[in-house]
Structure 1
Amino acid sequence: MAQVCVAVSLERIAKDSEVFSTASPATSVETLTTALEENYKVKKVLGQGKFGRVQEVVRKGTKKRFAVKVVASSKQSEDEVQLLASLRHGNIVCLHDSLEQDEMLYIIMELCSGGTLKSWIEDRQDEHLNVQVYTAPPKRVFANCMWQILDALKYLHGRGFVHRDIKLENLLLLKAGPCPQLKLADFGMATEFQKGELMTQRCGSPGYMAPEVLRGGYTELCDLWSMGVVFYQMATGRRLWLFTRTHEQHYDQVLAETPLTLKSNAHWSRLGPGALEMAQDLLSLECSRPTAACAIENDWLRKYVLGGDDRCCSIS
């Protein structure tokens, strides 16, 4: 899966009421339309999917670099632009501009040059005696990453929107380095929600979708489950669920194995007391799952984010 450093999972496969997101490898540089070429010069293709592509561009005159998402113009893509334009948060990717021509929409956003959180985690894998060994980030770095994502979700939910596609590929690093500043990206599945009303569309990425999403009745807390999956993968370097042949087999697996009970091991021990419990809370059934505003007050999280002067990440 390509590491696309922009606010988008490029390919969506819709089947009945289900929506998935995946990304495909980039192939070659394509020419932008005249409208965009007036102000931008294309540098390279960052990702290519069934329904769109992402390219790195440079603004003529200022030489500033951006990422442009090129998709067919639709109500969904126009809604994504409107939502991005309304969001102002240090851990949410920033919209710069948008253009429309010949039924195509060009969404111009800040470029995150550090890759995805998925690639960052993969870089921490090493081979020892033909066995893959994962080294989790230091406690403070780990906690800062979790804090940034939760703060973005707290802000988003507070404005009445749910993301619905939280995953490692949609968490971008502004720059490469050992202490990431993260940006939440790809709001193509985001939607407005009303307190007390359930959403019903099965929406998200397999492996990250909450059990209540699979059942067809959920709230904004589905984002916190997905956050729990991210937490687990960042702590252990492993997928929460084993591979299955089909999406339906995976859904059956999730429904059969929840509620989950996480087991302590060396990975969790290295993160200190409280880390496993926080992951367990995020991966609990919806009725017991914390909100983003509650989760960000977790004692383990606050201990390593706020406890001391050696914080290395920007979390504003």
Structure 2
Amino acid sequence: MAQVCVTVSLEKIAEDSEVFSTASPDTSVESLTTALEEDYKVKKVLGHGKFGLVQEVVRKGTKKRFAVKVVSSNKQSEDEIQLMASLRHENIVCLHDSLEHDEMLYIIMELCSGGTLRSWIEDRYNEHLNMQVYTAPPKRVLANCIWQILDALKYLHGRGFVHRDIKLENLLLLNAGKCPQLKLADFGMATEFQIGELMTQRCGSPGYMAPEVVRGGYTELCDLWSVGIVFYQLATGKRLWPLTPTHEQHYDQVLAETPLTLKSDAYWNRLGPGALEMAQDLLSLECSRPTAACTIENDWLRKHVLGGDDGCCSIS
């Protein structure tokens, strides 16, 4: 299957919050205390953000590699560990161990060496005639990425938890490759929900936050809106909304433009009938937005995950 190159402006899907960034490995060795270094050797910094630092470590003796997230020890981080310890899914990062020392918590988990879905998208840009050209992934690869995210959410929601921070940075690649295996990570904002009860805390990341989260009354379906944003970015290589000077201006724009209507163009035409409609469903108002369990049965999605011919993986 031929890949399609889509020309976009130099403004790519830049992040408008400080939740994740790449740091130099030169500063990594001094950032962990002896509590962790007794059993692990620090290799490099993988990233840092609002709530902590993420580094690659090697367990002494076994030489096995892990990622460690270093955060302040508090109820939120302790809840994150308890939730991660209860989860077992091939598309969710697996917790290996945890340590506490000097009011710091070290969350030791599965290492995903392929980077983030954001970096994977950015690697699909090339310069051509002084413009940035995005090579959109084949339909089956794109569909498989979305299917993996939905399968993780179907599992998570089925256990009564909502993630509340689905975004490109929190979708990790187990290994580099043309058809990545994704792992949902960072459960710092996850919480238990009750059917029929609204959550009210505004949390998440600008650019991915559902309008009902901005308003302050929402259900687990807020995660599906965020999947719709990820779908849009994978398909087009662009942000759904332009950057704004402040988060509040962005929130005002989201509320002003919903209900949202996606326009058919070359990006969506190349994906075939049904792709735009699926994205539109995910980005609909909460009252009509499908669940993860419903969306994973979408005809377009299953057709291209199961029936593609470009050598990607398949679902059972």
TM over 0.5, shorter chain: yes
Question: Aligned partner of 1:140: which letter?
Answer: R
Alignment of 1:156-171 (within 5 A): 156-171=156-171
1:40-80 alpha-carbon deviations (Å, 9 max, x no partner): 11111222345421111001111000000111100000000
Secondary structure at 1:202 match in 2? coil
- Aligned residue in 1 for 2:95: 95
Instruction: Note the aligned Cα RMSD (angstroms).
Output: 1.5
Alignment of 1:201-220 (within 5 A): 201-220=201-220
Are the aligned partners of 1:21 and 1:205 in contact in 2 as well (CA < 8 Å)?
Answer: no
2:297 is the alignment partner of 1:300: no
Per the TM alignment, residue 312 of structure 1 is displaced from its structure 2 partner at its CA by 1.7
Q: 2:20 aligns with which of 19, 23, 45?
A: 23
Question: Aligned partner of 2:188: which letter?
Answer: G
- Aligned residue in 1 for 2:188: 188
Are the aligned partners of 2:124 and 2:134 in contact in 1 as well (CA < 8 Å)?
Answer: yes
TM-score after normalising by structure 1: 0.91
Per the TM alignment, residue 310 of structure 1 is displaced from its structure 2 partner at its CA by 5.7
1:150-193 alpha-carbon deviations (Å, 9 max, x no partner): 00000000000000000011000000010100000000000000
Question: Aligned partner of 1:153: which letter?
Answer: L
Structure 2 residues without counterparts, runs of 5 or longer: 1-16
Moved more, 195-204 or 299-308: 299-308
Are the aligned partners of 1:69 and 1:106 in contact in 2 as well (CA < 8 Å)?
Answer: yes
Alignment of 1:1-150 (within 5 A): 22-27=19-24, 28-31=27-30, 32-49=32-49, 51-150=51-150
Per the TM alignment, residue 313 of structure 1 is displaced from its structure 2 partner at its CA by 2.8
Secondary structure at 2:29 match in 1? coil
How far apart in 2 are the matches of 1:309 and 1:258? 37
Are the aligned partners of 2:306 and 2:314 in contact in 1 as well (CA < 8 Å)?
Answer: no
How far apart in 2 are the matches of 1:257 and 1:29? 43
Are the aligned partners of 2:156 and 2:162 in contact in 1 as well (CA < 8 Å)?
Answer: yes
Are the aligned partners of 1:202 and 1:216 in contact in 2 as well (CA < 8 Å)?
Answer: yes
Are the aligned partners of 2:124 and 2:135 in contact in 1 as well (CA < 8 Å)?
Answer: yes
How far apart in 2 are the matches of 1:309 and 1:127? 28
TM-score after normalising by structure 2: 0.91
How far apart in 1 are the matches of 2:254 and 2:280? 15
Structure 1 residues without counterparts, runs of 5 or longer: 1-19
How far apart in 2 are the matches of 1:174 and 1:315? 17
Identity %: 86
2:290 is the alignment partner of 1:290: yes
Question: Aligned partner of 1:48: which letter?
Answer: H
How far apart in 2 are the matches of 1:25 and 1:58? 19
Secondary structure at 1:203 match in 2? coil
How far apart in 1 are the matches of 2:49 and 2:315? 32
- Aligned residue in 1 for 2:226: 226
How far apart in 1 are the matches of 2:75 and 2:248? 29
Are the aligned partners of 1:181 and 1:315 in contact in 2 as well (CA < 8 Å)?
Answer: no
Secondary structure at 1:135 match in 2? strand
1:198-234 alpha-carbon deviations (Å, 9 max, x no partner): 0000010000000000110000000000000000000
Are the aligned partners of 1:209 and 1:225 in contact in 2 as well (CA < 8 Å)?
Answer: yes
Question: Aligned partner of 2:83: which letter?
Answer: L
Per the TM alignment, residue 84 of structure 1 is displaced from its structure 2 partner at its CA by 0.3
Moved more, 36-45 or 50-59: 50-59
Are the aligned partners of 2:112 and 2:172 in contact in 1 as well (CA < 8 Å)?
Answer: yes
Moved more, 43-52 or 244-253: 43-52
Are the aligned partners of 1:148 and 1:315 in contact in 2 as well (CA < 8 Å)?
Answer: no
Are the aligned partners of 1:71 and 1:106 in contact in 2 as well (CA < 8 Å)?
Answer: yes
Question: Aligned partner of 1:168: which letter?
Answer: L
Secondary structure at 1:245 match in 2? coil
Secondary structure at 1:186 match in 2? coil
Are the aligned partners of 1:92 and 1:184 in contact in 2 as well (CA < 8 Å)?
Answer: yes
Q: Residues 128 and 211 (structure 1 numbering): CA distance in 2 closer, same or farther, change over 3 Å?
A: same
